[in-house]
């Protein structure tokens, strides 16, 4: 097996393998003759590979394998042999050993057989965008997660941290009929909740492995591709109905196209000039057909106006301080801004491909 091949396989497996876990099994990968397997709190994965020459499955530390393969030229062949409680490896002029990891637990076999959901091409991107408002450092336990909610022929993916809300809408396609297990006890609607890092893991798997199909059951989300199988957990419902909140921001009358790259440059500069360890905000105001950004700190201040195509020159909104880090998360995917809610200190940013709405709430000046 080429070192580059094993590196790519282990990097994908490391999405599941948890190097911080206290459980040895969860920090390890199982090398087999023609596949790699691993499991952790984040799920379970099996990847078909080129032959490893390992006849009897053995657990080894995932980070250790990556350290070895990542240090070798990618085109080098790497060979393994088993020797009592060690795995010997050899690649060109380099060689070494790895201790086997012993665990009283075993990785469960992935035998799920039904995969009715062929995801749309934009599902991976939608999962990443929908996760943009869900950050562990800023989210309460009751809001920590991504919601997948089918409605008609659409699938809505949403998250919030009470300051920002991200909402993505894609085609529902063959998304499976959800079991009663997924009925939200408050709203009585069926929806799936995924806690990070699961949304990002799913996005990575379906982006890297061709022809992935999925299923959603009370036991979790199952994935099957050309050379990959995976099982990932689902979580309990969030405390609030995010779709109802997102529906409050559907009006889009005062809309203007924005130069997201220029806005990102301003925020990057303002961050460098901001006071260390201070809560970092950027003022947003609309005046005379211009979008104006401001930033003030103890030692400096900045202001820059941007031409916003389509903005009504009669609009006027006083400066609203918005959390700059929340703005930066969404900007690479934003095409336009909606000012309908700026009087209530809320800025709505939108993007396309897929349909993306990002709401940021401001505070007092």
- pLDDT > 60? residue 136: no
Joined together, the tokens standing for residue 267 give 């925020």
Per-residue confidence (pLDDT) for residue 204, from 0 to 100: 97
- pLDDT > 90? residue 239: no
Give the C-alpha separation, 259 to 301, whole Å: 21
Q: What percent of the chain has pLDDT over 90?
A: 75
Give the C-alpha separation, 221 to 115, whole Å: 10
The tens digit of pLDDT for each residue in 86-95 reads 999 999 999 9
Q: What percent of the chain has pLDDT over 70?
A: 97
When pLDDT is averaged across residues 95-111 and rounded to a whole number, the result is 93
Joined together, the tokens standing for residue 183 give 């009925």
The pTM of this model reads 0.91
Q: Decide: 356 and 168 in contact? Cβ < 8 Å.
A: yes
HEC assignment per residue over the chain: CEHHHHHHHHHHHCCCCCCCCCCHHHHEEEECCCEEEEEECCEEEEEECCCCCCCCCEEEEHHHHHHHHHCCCCCCECEEEEECCEEEEEECCEEEEEECCCCCCCCCCCCCCCCCECCCCCHHHHHHHHHHHCCHHHCCHHHCCEEEEEECCEEEEEEECCCEEEEEEEECCCCCCCCHHHECCCCCCECEEECCCHHHHHHHHHHHCCCCEEEEECCEEEEECCCEEEEECCECCCCCCHHHHHHHHCCCCCEEECCHHHHHHHHHHHHHHCCCCCCCEEEEEEECCEEEEEEECCCCEEEEEEECECCCCCCEEEEEEEEHHHHHHHHHHCCEEECCCHHHCEEEEEECCCEEEEEEECCCC
Give the C-alpha separation, 338 to 348, whole Å: 5
When pLDDT is averaged across residues 318-343 and rounded to a whole number, the result is 91
Q: Which of 144-153, 254-263, 267-276 has the lowest mean pLDDT?
A: 267-276
Q: Which of 112-121, 278-287, 351-360 has the lowest mean pLDDT?
A: 278-287
Q: Which of 12-16, 48-52, 218-222, 306-310 has the lowest mean pLDDT?
A: 306-310
Length of the chain in terms of residues written: 365
Give the C-alpha separation, 312 to 272, whole Å: 32
- pLDDT > 80? residue 85: yes
Q: What is the mean pLDDT of the chain?
A: 92
Q: Decide: 137 and 165 in contact? Cβ < 8 Å.
A: no
- pLDDT > 60? residue 63: yes
- pLDDT > 90? residue 8: yes
pLDDT greater at residue 329 or residue 307? 329
Per-residue confidence (pLDDT) for residue 162, from 0 to 100: 84
Per-residue confidence (pLDDT) for residue 134, from 0 to 100: 86
Give the C-alpha separation, 160 to 166, whole Å: 6
- pLDDT > 90? residue 283: yes
Which residues lie closer than 8 Å to 195 by C-beta, 6 or more apart? 144, 145, 146, 233, 235
Joined together, the tokens standing for residue 129 give 């965008």
- pLDDT > 90? residue 362: no
The tens digit of pLDDT for each residue in 213-229 reads 999 999 999 999 999 99
- pLDDT > 90? residue 297: no
Q: What is the band of 277 on the pLDDT scale with cuts at 50, 70, 90?
A: low
Q: Which of 135-144, 163-172, 312-321 has the lowest mean pLDDT?
A: 135-144
Give the C-alpha separation, 347 to 308, whole Å: 14
Please report how the helices 123-130 and 198-208 are oriented relative to each other, as an axis angle in degrees rounded to 10: 160
Q: Decide: 285 and 319 in contact? Cβ < 8 Å.
A: yes
Per-residue confidence (pLDDT) for residue 139, from 0 to 100: 60
When pLDDT is averaged across residues 53-77 and rounded to a whole number, the result is 93
The structural domains of the chain, ordered by start, are 3-99 (3.10.150.10), 123-246 (3.10.150.10), 255-361 (3.10.150.10)
- pLDDT > 80? residue 97: yes
When pLDDT is averaged across residues 270-285 and rounded to a whole number, the result is 82
Q: What is the band of 308 on the pLDDT scale with cuts at 50, 70, 90?
A: confident
Cis peptide before 197 (omega within 30 of 0): yes
Per-residue confidence (pLDDT) for residue 329, from 0 to 100: 86
When pLDDT is averaged across residues 119-134 and rounded to a whole number, the result is 94
């Amino acid at each position: 097996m080429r070192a580059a091949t094993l590196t790519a396989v282990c990097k994908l497996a490391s999405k599941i393998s948890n190097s911080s876990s206290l459980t040895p099994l969860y920090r390890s990968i199982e090398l087999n003759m023609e596949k790699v397997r691993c499991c952790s709190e984040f799920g379970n994965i099996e990847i078909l590979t080129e032959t490893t020459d390992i006849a009897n499955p053995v657990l080894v530390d995932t980070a250790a394998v990556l350290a070895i393969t990542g240090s070798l030229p990618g085109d080098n062949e790497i060979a393994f042999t088993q020797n009592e409680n060690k795995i010997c490896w050899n690649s060109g002029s380099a060689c070494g050993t790895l201790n086997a990891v012993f665990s009283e637990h075993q990785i469960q076999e992935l035998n799920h057989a039904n995969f009715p959901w062929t995801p749309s091409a934009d599902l991976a991107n939608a999962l990443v965008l929908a996760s943009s408002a869900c950050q562990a450092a800023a989210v309460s336990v009751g809001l920590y997660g991504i919601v997948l909610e089918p409605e008609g022929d659409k699938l809505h993916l949403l998250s919030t941290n009470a300051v920002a809300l991200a909402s993505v809408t894609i085609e529902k396609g063959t998304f499976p009929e959800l079991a009663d297990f997924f009925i939200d006890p408050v709203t009585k609607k069926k929806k799936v909740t995924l806690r990070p890092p699961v949304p990002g893991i799913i996005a990575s798997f379906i982006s890297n492995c061709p022809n992935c199909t999925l299923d959603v059951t009370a036991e979790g989300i199952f994935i099957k591709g050309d050379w990959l199988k995976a099982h990932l957990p689902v979580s309990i419902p969030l405390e609030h109905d995010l779709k109802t909140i997102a529906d409050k921001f559907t009006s889009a009358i005062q809309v203007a196209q924005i130069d997201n790259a220029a806005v990102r440059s301003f925020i990057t500069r303002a961050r460098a000039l901001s006071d260390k360890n201070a809560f970092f905000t950027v003022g947003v105001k609309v005046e005379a057909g211009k979008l104006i950004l401001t930033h003030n700190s103890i030692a400096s201040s900045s202001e820059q106006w941007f031409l916003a195509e389509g903005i009504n020159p009669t609009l006027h909104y006083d400066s609203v301080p918005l959390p700059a880090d929340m703005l930066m998360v969404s900007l690479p995917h934003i095409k336009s801004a909606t000012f309908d809610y700026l009087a209530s200190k809320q800025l709505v940013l939108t993007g396309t491909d897929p349909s993306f709405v990002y709401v940021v709430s401001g505070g007092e000046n």
